[in-house]
Chain A
Amino acid sequence: MKRILMVAALMGVSAGALAEAPGGPNCGWGNMLMNGQSGLGAHVVASLTNGTSGNATFGMTTGTNGCSANGKLTYGGKSLIGAVMDEFSEDVARGDGEALTAVAVAMGVDEADRTAFKQLMHDNFATLFPSADVTAEQVSERVVELMRGHEQLARYVS
């Protein structure tokens, strides 16, 4: 539970214009891909000022990442995938990368098991990302399902 709270708290900070998912509740992968682009105007000005938009600027607001509208996590890692879906999908395709590591770390996967985690995700790329319409929620659920069915990784999601 502590872990879930931490991830929830971590993910809560996304009031910045850059982090707003353009799709609102409909945050399929196609939309996530565009993360930051529909707000390009806002981005330009944010970069002009090194600015931050919003009032939740100190990481203390628990809330949503713009994707999971209810903001309640039922397991760790879910919101994180929503927030870094773009980078995560690339890393799963490649079989390695910092976003993939970050999801493993947030799920509590020990260093010794991370290679297995990455391999499992990569081997099941088509399951995790069956189409351009897949949502972060679906991806998250599948990550957990895959881990449940894996001898070495099941203990992290039991």
Chain B
Amino acid sequence: MAHRGGPCLGRPGVAPRTAPVPVRIGPARTAGLLPGLLGLLLATASPANPAAPATDTDSPTVTALAGQREWLQLLHYTPSWLPGRLRNFVDDPDFFLSPRGEHDPAAELAATLDALRRDPATQCRFPARRQWLVARLPGLAATLPPAHCPEYEEWRRVLAVREAVLVFASSYLNSPSSMYGHTFLRFDSAAPERRTPLLAWALNFGATVPPDENGFVYAWRGLFGGYPGQFAAGPYFEKLREYSRLESRDLWEYRLNLDAAELDRLLAHAWELRAINFDYYFFDENCSLRLLELLDVARPGHDLADQFPNYAIPIDTVRAVIDAGMVTDVTWRPATRSTLRWQIAQLDAGERQLARRLADDAGAEPQAFAALEPARQRLVAEVAYQYLRDRAVHAVPDAALARQNFALLQLLERTADAAAPPAPPRPAAPETGHRTGLAALAAGTEESRAFGDLEWRVSYHDLLDPPAGYPAGASLNMARIVARLKEGGTLQLQRLDALEITSLAARDRFFRSWSWRVNAGLERQWTAGDDILVTQANGGFGGSWAPLPSLLLFALGTGRLEANHALDRSLDLAPGLAAGLRLESPAGITLASADYYHFTGGEDRRALALRHELALGANLGLRLQLERRVNEHDRVDEASLALRYHF
């Protein structure tokens, strides 16, 4: 048995009460032939009787088998906080054959043996359990009634799975459940008529919504977690449309080296999870964990899911799969908009203007278009067409749009004999980016007094962290805490961020993207001469511009709610403005920002900050911070140097 310590392992404390207690798993007609322990057990079993008494939960065989890691994984048990008790994310009585099954692996195993023997439909419903038990109990197969499983067999036949691919959809800040990215599995078919990625199947874990749900209820429950999570299968091209086209998210495809037997186990188990409800927590995105559980069933021994006892950031689960040696190669599939942005960047100013005009009117400036080289014509037509398609995603469809679309499609066709535009260069793969945890040590001065900071951040990435592998202009941080030791020996909580998200998307002739940020938590504010720990939430909304590829300027209208007893109003609101720039250069990343707030109680607050990070490695950085904060009573200068380690 490969199981590890902890309270989840079946019932480790339960020893057999007496010498052999028979487990009745079926008619004894083959009993004499059965080897091993089971043979002994069967030999003492009662004669055939469809309504035979239940298999004894406490029998040594059942107890031993039910404690095995693989059984626990098949039933999705995980350790709970309560010692001796198991948790189960499956929230569905249909998945358990014993009324106690949700928390009792032995009862579930006994009930499964009973049901398999009693009812052929159980074999069709739980092919992976059947397969596992038959392999562990050499005599079991002969005691099972013949079963025909046309539905399951048809499903397997249609899928005809040849290979499995783990797909990572990159971070999508506009959706809380996808901020950290998303993963799902793709099954590539062996059938000649399906042997191309678009016709592969995707197996996805996500919230499941009833077909005729009211829109408002849908939004409400979608946000606040009213829907159960289920596995769902569908064509990969639908996933591509969803992620690549509608949400502009790059996909990374990690080909897995699962062999036929492993794929067989995976699919048999996936079938058991059909229409089974799991608990689904909205912010606690657990799709990636569910997939690891499937891979654990496919290839026992790595215990991938156990590596994530508390939470699973999707890219970390991808790393775990890579570290387990399960990935053979990685393919990048740029989002439609990633390709489009790159193509736009290949155009000169005149071509850019022309493409933009053609997107509005396919017949615009025929002479200027005709004057271009054929390859440039093709690129301009490609940009105009894809840009209109991109805009159409967010537009109300009408006949005029369809006509314009069609005209650009014809233009695309007329220019297609020229050389195809080169493919955009592949960016750093997300798993090569810095790790998602962070610890930092800083030394500095505040008001000419020295201090030392200790920082810990659960996740994920900010605007100065090494950018490779992460979406540009995005900052997403949860659970960040900074403790400060001040000269003189005072130790204080300096900062506690529950949440910080910034999304800076450059606006240009083609994309009128918005930039925004939100942040909530505790922080220090000098107020009326005192260093006060305040509770605050703030947000901003505005625009960003990129005059150079490496330079981003931003300006936001902001608002702030602060609980601070030293303010004239101890709970006060402050509208404000923020502006800044972010520059990437060979010397590192620089972020300069200015913030202004005016509280309704009268106080003005200004802050200027200059931060610079020099990457010392993929997971190590040196960060310099200079900050000046000014209000009516205080002018506080702070400077610090931090060594930051991502783990």
Contacts and interface: CB of A to CB of B under 8 A. Distances in A.
B207 A3 contact: no
Interface in B167-199: 172, 174-178, 182, 191-199
B399 A57 contact: no
Interface stretch (B49-57, B229-237, B252-260, B618-626): B229-237
B402 interface: yes
Given A18-B238, A18-B242, A50-B287, 7 more contacts: A14-B234, A17-B209, A37-B392, A41-B215, A48-B222, A106-B193, A129-B406
A18 B230 CA distance: 17
B395 A98 contact: no
Interface stretch (A26-34, A135-143, A146-154): A26-34
Given A6-B158, A59-B155, A101-B198, A52 B193 contact: no
Contacts of B449: none
Interface string B151-164: 10011001100000
Given A50-B178, A102-B196, A125-B413, A34 B209 contact: no
A60 B397 contact: no
A55 B209 CA distance: 8
B413 A55 contact: no
B194 A6 contact: yes
Given A10-B158, A50-B287, A131-B406, A58 B237 contact: no
B37 interface: no
A140 to B, nearest CB: 16
A68 interface: no
Contacts of A14: 234-235, 238
Contacts of A51: 206-209, 222, 227
The 4 residue pairs across chains A and B that have the minimum distance between CB atoms: A30-B402, A50-B206, A34-B397, A49-B207
Interface in A88-132: 89-90, 92-96, 98-99, 101-102, 105-108, 122, 125-126, 129, 131-132
A121 B206 CA distance: 38
A140 B201 CA distance: 23
Contacts of A99: 198, 237
B373 interface: no
A19 interface: yes
Contacts of B159: 59
Interface residues of B, number: 76
B155 A60 contact: yes
A123 B80 CA distance: 63
A54 B209 CA distance: 6
Given A14-B238, A58-B274, A48 B176 contact: yes
Contacts of B218: 42, 45
B635 interface: no
B215 A129 contact: no
B418 to A, nearest CB: 11
11 contacts: A10-B199, A18-B246, A49-B177, A50-B285, A50-B287, A51-B227, A53-B208, A59-B233, A80-B199, A105-B199, A129-B406
A112 B159 CA distance: 24
Contacts of A63: none
A144 interface: no
A44 B274 CA distance: 25
Contacts of B502: none
Contacts of B154: 60
A36 interface: yes
B428 interface: no
Which of A49, A59, A76, A96 has the most chain B CB atoms closer than 10 A to its own CB?
A49
A126 to B, nearest CB: 8
A48 B175 contact: yes
Interface string B407-427: 001101100100010000000
B33 interface: no
Contact of A48 (B177, B196, B230, B410): B177
B393 interface: yes
B204 A105 contact: no
A67 interface: no
Contacts of A129: 406, 409
A94 B233 contact: no
B195 A105 contact: yes
B213 interface: yes
B207 A50 contact: yes
A122 B420 CA distance: 14
A10 B247 CA distance: 24
B241 interface: yes
B275 A57 contact: yes
B416 A6 contact: no
B394 interface: yes
A2 B230 CA distance: 30
B596 to A, nearest CB: 33
Contacts of B394: 37, 40
A132 B409 CA distance: 10
B372 interface: no
B208 A52 contact: yes
Contacts of B227: 49, 51
A19 B246 CA distance: 12
Contacts of A29: 402, 406
B282 interface: yes
B123 interface: no
A99 B240 CA distance: 11
Contact of B196 (A36, A44, A45, A105): A105
B590 interface: no
A132 B196 contact: no
B190 to A, nearest CB: 12
A45 B403 CA distance: 29
Contacts of A11: 235
Nearest to B192: A108
A135 to B, nearest CB: 13
Nearest to B404: A132
Nearest to B273: A58
Given A83-B235, A132-B402, A49 B282 contact: yes
A33 B397 contact: yes
Nearest to B151: A60
Nearest to B409: A93
B112 interface: no
A82 to B, nearest CB: 12
Which of A46, A58, A83, A101 has the most chain B CB atoms closer than 10 A to its own CB?
A58
Contacts of B274: 58
A53 B242 contact: no
Contacts of A93: 409-410, 412-413, 416
Nearest to B280: A49
A38 to B, nearest CB: 6
B219 interface: yes
B211 interface: yes
Contact of B416 (A9, A55, A76, A95): A95
A46 B8 CA distance: 34
A87 B206 contact: no
Interface in B574-624: none
